[in-house]
Structure 1
Amino acid sequence: MPVRNMLFALLLGLILPAPGVRAAEPAGKVVRLQGGAEARQDDASRVLAAGDPVRAGETLRTGPGSRLLVLFADGMELTLSDGAEMTVAAFDWDARQAAGKAELTLGRGSFLLRTGAVGKLPDHPLTVRTPLASVGVRGTQFWGGPLDAPLSVLLIEGRVVVSSPTGSVELGTPGEGTSVTEPGATPLPPTFWGEQRIQRAFATVGFEN
């Protein structure tokens, strides 16, 4: 089976986002939730439920055994694993002007990201930052999190550039991945992940049926 087809077959079997759901202002909304999750900003926190809004500046946190799927106003989809923490550091999308920007900051856990309109803009104004490296998004779908290394990144579709203070690598073929082994380390050269490792990555963000 071609690598691209295998990736999508595995993904579809694990994650089934609700169809036909539209994002709510100002940034997006929860479209699927398994277990418990909360949104925190400054000293305030709120328990999340399906349909709740997600705002720029909030930190999203998931509990043990939980999964969280957020649909943003530009069509971007973010899925978080259990025990994850992701901050919506910035999000802005003006559909009439076809302009915007977005920045997500991973504190811990794993995630799956499918870009929307912001991630496909010519100047690539979408970045995902992690404690070990940042990921420059080029209209794509990819997974990131700890897997056989403190940080690993798997490309599902499109292209990403994974950068640390000491260097960067580009992933441009579905099934390619890289890892950062420790703080300050350069991302490892891209390699193709086997089906077993890909399944392990997808399992961290897959919802129970």
Structure 2
Amino acid sequence: MKLLIVEDDLMMGAGLQAALKNAGFDAHWVTDGQAALELLTQSSFRVAVLDISLPGLDGLALLKKLRDDGSSMPVLMLTARDTTHDKVMCFEAGADDFLVKTTDMEELIARLRALIRRAGYVGRLCVGNITLDSDTLVVTKDGKLLSLSNREFELLRVLMEGAGQVISRSRLEEAVFGSIRNGDSNVLEVHIHNLRQKIGDTSLKTVRGVGYALTKP
């Protein structure tokens, strides 16, 4: 699950990123609002953790712009400000939740997962005899554990979310490489080949010139 942290305090930001990665999130961290805005135009995230006080474009201005642009991404405001007025401003700007920085990490993780669930995220996917759990990062086939690389896991997750539909190359590349495109045009095919070897060649179809589709039984 891709998560964005926007926090200018270096110690706080590094601690958040490490803790959220340990909890299974694909946590990306930037230190100012403008960098966050640019990253959000290049890639999609399940949820964001946003500080109010940021250099340049502050957290509230960034949040208002996201909502004005039609973004429905869940946003949790994590800030040292704890007055009722601060909370009201955050919620009026479009925040989905609010926590002060003194909160413990377990509560933060629980609230983030709750926001993602409310946004329609399904943590456990089942297609035929394959089951994928995004929270535990476990994939099984016929009840037997499959060993997948991180990129194979992300590929399979996107394919399972859109099972029965053709998923474009660009969307799959974004899932594997994020905003950084690999110069080797064959890299995606290599990952697809490896994934086929593990889940079964007949499950994953190539639609030439378009993308790939995971068949639904």
Same fold flag (TM > 0.5): no
Larger relative helix fraction: 2
Q: State the structure with more CA Rg.
A: 2
Larger relative strand fraction: 1
Question: When the two structures are superposed, what TM-score results if normalisation uses the length of structure 2?
Answer: 0.27
